Structure 1
Amino acid sequence: MWCVAVAAGSFRRYATYRVATAAGVFTNTVFGFIVAYTFVALWAERPHLGGYGQAQALTFVWVAQALLAAAALMGGGGLEELQERIRTGDVAVDLYRPADLQLWWLAADLGRAGMQLIGRGVVPMAVGALVFPLALPGDALTWGWFLLSVLLGIVVSFGLRYLVALASFWLLDGSGLSLISGLACMFFSGMLLPLRVFPGGFGEVVQLLPWAAILQVPADVLIGARSGGALLRGLVFQAAWGAALLALGRLVQSAATRRVVVHGG
């Protein structure tokens, strides 16, 4: 199937950037140490902040570092190329392909994410586990649920980033919107601080936003904060947001395609 071929090609493409991958591993690991020691100090003062123990909080830190590139927690994730193709008009060529534009870029993004998860995610997590007492599960089933949750989170991330990329059909320059989107993802995904830590109604609201499906839910699955019914609700929450964002992206894509036709693209 062409989707598999596109994903495999994207995986191989990103695998060729060995120096960039090594630099990313180093950066993620160093940043992980900085945040981890910050969390050590914070949880020493508030041992059960957000309902997490210190080991769970530290695990959250290293999960964030492992997913930083794979889930594009700071935005980007390769869809800048789509934005540029829209800006230059080269997207007209993409629309003539015998493949759906959204599915093409989703397949490419999944291939990219797979490479980033292996290339930039495994080492920081392993280093974190060697240095800090992490709350990692000992059973394969939990790891399996975690990987499924990560996959759903990446789909949600793609859905958000794809909408941002499509906005370039109406904007002269989409870089500003991409920056805002990246900042929103960093804050509302739980990358800077777990969303469970936020107090009152604000904490409840941010856990209902789509960004929570990208990091907060997968991290909670891994550290055991979600099990049984809570695990199922978390996966349904991710799947619902993924389906909604892909459907919305389909509608925006349809409107954008009509715009290209109107302007002679």
Structure 2
Amino acid sequence: MRTYLRLFVAGFRRQSTYRLAAFGGLVANTTFGLLKVALLFAAVEASGGELAGYDVATMSAYIWISQGLLGSVNLSGRTDIAERIKSGDVAVDFLRPVDVHLASVTTEVGRSVFALIPRGLPSVAIGALVVGMAVPDHWSSYPIGAVSLLLGLVVSATTVFLVGATGFWLVETRGLAMLYMVVSGFLAGLFVPIGLFPGWLHAIATATPFPSMMMYPVDILSGRVDGLAAVGLVGLQLLWLALTVTAGQLATRAGRKRLEVQGG
């Protein structure tokens, strides 16, 4: 466990070196957050003050919390493991006394947690001060929301690892990563809440791990879902975590047998 803790810290420290990029991300989060406020507030007001259970306050909470998570949840599909497979460096990783899958996921989570400090929390604070937002009615939503947030980051890391692991067979994964970026952002609830989806599309979204990365933590932290319903969402996140970790372990073992490294 100490080894993986050090890998987590290494990922955290590595991401902390890109401070100017973090500031640029905060500016981008705030800018697009204000654009989403204009568009989604207009949609709520056009619907008579409520749209699929969202009023202005809860819609604002959705906008700013989701924008705050944008730097931490990996929706780009890009991972270090894909590049290491392509270059052949993963062969060295397999010689180390650590699990390649868990080491990659732990490092990714470390980077994600750091991004909450310069991008996530300030984005939410700016939204609360400039626009205002709904907050949970009960204190229990905060610890449950924190657990859900952490699970969302881990599920994001374990899921995106699967994209990178396809490099054992495809070698070049950029096309798949681009497809992942389009699909994951939409189904995770980055552009609009999945509660606004038509029934058939909402069913498709909830049958994927993507809402567990962003939508479920946002619903709990905004107070839109609380009590047993919030615990149920955390249970779904744990289920997707178990499934993606199992798939990652299987893919890593199969990829190790498939791996061929050429060069001299």
TM-score range, shorter chain: over 0.9
How is 1:37-56 mapped onto 2 (pairs within 5 angstroms)?
Answer: 37-46=38-47, 47-56=49-58
In the TM superposition, what is the alpha-carbon distance from 1:139 to its structure 2 partner?
A: 5.5
Query: Please, which of 69, 73, 78 is the counterpart of residue 67 of structure 1?
Result: 69
3-state DSSP class of the match of 1:50?
A: coil
User: Which residue of structure 2 lines up, in the alignment, with residue 175 of structure 1?
Assistant: 174
Distance 2:203 2:235 in 1: 17
2:155 corresponds to 1:153: no
Q: Out of 56, 59, 64, which is 1:57 matched to? A: 59
CA distance in 2, matches of 1:75, 1:138: 36
**Secondary structure in 2 aligned to 1:117?**
helix
- The answer to whether the 8 A contact 2:193-2:215 is kept is yes
Q: Find the aligned partners of 1:168 and 1:258 in 2 and give their Cα distance.
A: 13
Distance 2:249 2:237 in 1: 18
Q: Which residue of 2 aligns with 1:103?
A: 102
**What is the CA RMSD across the aligned residues, in angstroms?**
1.6
Instruction: Give the superposition deviation at 1:75.
Output: 3.4
Structure 1 residues 40 and 143: alpha-carbon distance in aligned structure 2, compared to 1, 3 A threshold: same
The amino acid that maps onto 2:96 is: R
Q: Which residue of 2 aligns with 1:244?
A: 243
Q: Is the CA contact (8 Å cut-off) linking 1:156 and 1:241 kept in structure 2? A: yes
Change beyond 3 A, Cα 1:65–1:171: same
Q: Which residue of 2 aligns with 1:4?
A: 5
**3-state DSSP of counterpart to 2:71:** coil
Deviation of 1:140 after TM superposition, in Å, equals 4.6
Q: Identity of counterpart residues, as a percentage?
A: 32
In 2, the alpha carbon distance for the partners of 1:164 and 1:11 equals 22
TM-score by length of structure 1 reads 0.94
Where do 1:185-200 residues align within 5 Å? 185-200=184-199
Q: What CA deviation, in whole Å up to 9, does each residue of 1:51-70 have, x standing for no partner?
A: 11111111111111110011
SS state of the match for residue 140, structure 2? helix
2:23 aligned with 1:27, yes or no?
no
The equivalent of 1:253 in structure 2 is 252
Q: Is the 8 A contact 2:148 2:234 kept in 1?
A: yes
Distance 1:51 1:138, change over 3 A: closer
1:18 Cα deviation (Å)? 1.0
The CA deviation at 1:137 is 2.9
Query: Following TM superposition, by how much is the alpha carbon of 1:264 offset from its aligned partner in structure 2, in angstroms?
Result: 8.2
Structure 2 counterpart SS, 1:133: coil
Q: Is the 8 A contact 1:58 1:134 kept in 2?
A: yes
How far 1:138 moved relative to its partner?
Answer: 6.4
What per-residue deviation string (whole Å, max 9, x for no partner) do you get for residues 95-131 of structure 1? 1010000111111011101101112101111110011
Deviations 1:56-101 (A, max 9, x none): 111111111110011123433xx1x211110011100001010000
Shift of 1:136: 1.9
Deviation of 1:225 after TM superposition, in Å, equals: 2.1
- Is there any run of 5+ residues in structure 1 with no aligned partner, and where? none
Alignment length, in residue pairs? 261
Secondary structure at the counterpart of residue 238 of structure 1: helix
SS at match of 1:49: coil
For 1:65 and 1:74, the matched residues in 2 are separated by 15
Unaligned runs of 5+ in 2: none
Q: What is the CA distance between 1:231 and its match in structure 2?
A: 1.0
Give the match's secondary structure for 1:73.
Answer: coil
Structure 1 residues 263 and 12: CA distance shift in structure 2, 3 A: closer
In structure 1, give the amino acid aligned to 2:20.
Answer: V
Aligned position for 1:36? 37
Q: Give the structure-2-normalised TM-score.
A: 0.94
Instruction: Kindly indicate whether the alpha-carbon contact (under 8 Å) linking 1:6 and 1:104 is maintained by their aligned counterparts in 2.
Output: yes
Aligned-partner Cα distance in 2 for 1:254–1:146: 34
